Chain A
Amino acid sequence: MISITQPKPFEEVLKSISRDQKIYLVGCGTCTTTQHTGGKAEVLAMKEKLETAGKKVTGWMVIPTACDPLTQQALALNAREIEAADSILAMPCSFGILTIALYTSKPVYPALDTMFIGKEQSPGNFTEDCIQCGGCVLGKTATICPITRCAKSLFNGPCGGSINGKCEVNPNTPCGWQQIIDRLTAQDRLDQLDEIEPLKDWSTSLSGGPRQIILES
């Protein structure tokens, strides 16, 4: 599993830091490094672009894993350069960015859009397979999630736009329901789909508000 990110358009990045002249840059050595969105090379490229756009970069670093609490020490080690900046432009995923924001009083702006938690199906091919809704149906659907893999999150089988195993919304996307039916057929368990799936309880998902778990010690 890996946090999938994509660069924001540079104009959007510039707009977000428009009131700031001096910028400190932070990358991440984990997910955004492997995806070439926020590792050392991308941080240095961003530095050059910012300088061309007339900004002053007071310093930069690539935190090994920005979502880790050790980020606090990494920021402390570079306190002087960070202090000299008006704001921090961050190139980890959202989890790294909000960790950075925990340990600095400087405004933090994202240079990336965090897309989804991706599973690498083949080298470089990351897919979204779970939206972490809090009510798992994988046991009913041959471990393929229809809420995630169907563009309409259907619960009771494919829509009328499933053609040749592809989704009508994007012909490059396999129809999740075709995959479910193929796998259940191979397992001789297609009758599992005869039952009408009751309405989903969305209150366990983000619809119920931000979720939190405190483990008992």
Chain B
Amino acid sequence: MKAGTNLEKVLTSGQFAVTAEAGPPKGTSARVVQQKAEILRPCCDAVNITDNQTAVVRMSSLAGCVLLKQQDVEPVMQMVTRDRNRIALQSDVLGAIVLGINNILCLTGDHQGFGNHPAAKGVFDMDSIQLIRVLKNMRDEKKFICGEDISGEVPLFIGAVENPFADPFEFRVNRLAKKIKAGADFIQTQAVYDLVRFTKWMEMVTDRGLDKQVHILAGVLPIKAAGMARYMRDSVPGISVPQSITSRLGGAKNTKEEGLKITLEIIEHIRTLPGVHGIHIMAVGWEEIIPDIVSKAGLLPRPVSGKVPE
């Protein structure tokens, strides 16, 4: 065990993992995070707290993770390199560990131009792959970037993301390989709608044996309205939404019901693909649907950690 987190235990025992994402509030209410924790506790193995997602200022991921822990939900702290340099990032890793947060997901982050402070200075001292490597060295060598020793234990389970739907397509698997080489223990992908492309990508991943070196959790983002599907297709870079999904939602009487149906079909397909070790549900602003999804997908009871042999 690298960190002994619940998520690590679930994944290393070969069980199909379920994680979800919770966005912290644009304010100081602990209740917002606590409510999400209550919804997600019975149906997830761990929950990501986003780090100023889409470059919009929110409560810090670290604080959100502490709130989750207080609610007995295992946190995954997301960490972007957009806003902090190597001094601040390493300092926050130490802070997370001392507060019992050991799953850290490394990202570069959305460009600040997309957020609510577009005039901000983007830091980008390093990229996500370099951050993964930094965390691995902190854990395995107990060294800071500068080479000085870290005192105390540094248990970390290191996550990263990959987008199989961005370009250049052929390089996306090389990039995944780089993340694994850098030290990623698990991968959460961009939301999957285009099953043809995702299947092709997973084939390329398994052909290279990469699924044996890292745990891949496929991203699932339930859609509740036709307009949302069109928006994601047209306005969110790196998300591919096939025509069949937009027309099904467009023609549906109850779009929420149809959206749930589509989500369950996607999960069912994903589970048949070799090399996929779990799903990561990103129900932006629709967290209350997650228990339903996990239940109807036949993935309960959760969390499964207690039943995992060491």
A: residues with CB less than 8 A from B are 151-165, 168-169, 175, 178, 181-182, 190, 193-194, 196-200, 202
Contact = CB atoms under 8 A, between A and B. Distances in A.
Given A156-B175, A161-B237, A164-B167, A199 B130 contact: yes
B147 to A, nearest CB: 12
A169 B122 CA distance: 13
A206 to B, nearest CB: 12
A168 B125 CA distance: 20
B133 A163 contact: no
B161 A152 contact: no
Given A181-B171, A196-B130, A199-B126, A163 B181 contact: no
B133 A196 contact: yes
A199 B177 CA distance: 18
The 6 A-B pairs of least Cβ separation, nearest first, read: A160-B163, A168-B237, A161-B237, A156-B129, A160-B238, A154-B127
Contacts of B133: 196
Nearest to B167: A162
Contact of B168 (A156, A178, A198): A178
A200 to B, nearest CB: 7
Interface of B: 82, 86, 108-111, 113-114, 122, 124-127, 129-130, 133-134, 145, 161-163, 165-168, 171, 174-175, 177-178, 181-182, 190, 237-238
A155 B127 contact: yes
15 contacts: A152-B111, A153-B127, A155-B129, A155-B130, A156-B127, A156-B130, A158-B166, A160-B161, A161-B166, A161-B238, A164-B167, A178-B168, A190-B174, A199-B86, A200-B126
A170 to B, nearest CB: 8
- Which secondary structure characterizes the binding site on chain A? loop
B126 A155 contact: yes
Contacts of B168: 158, 162, 178, 181-182
A168 B238 contact: yes
Contacts of A190: 171, 174
Given A158-B171, A160-B163, A152 B82 contact: yes
A193 B168 CA distance: 14
B127 A152 contact: yes
A197 B182 CA distance: 10
A163 B167 CA distance: 5
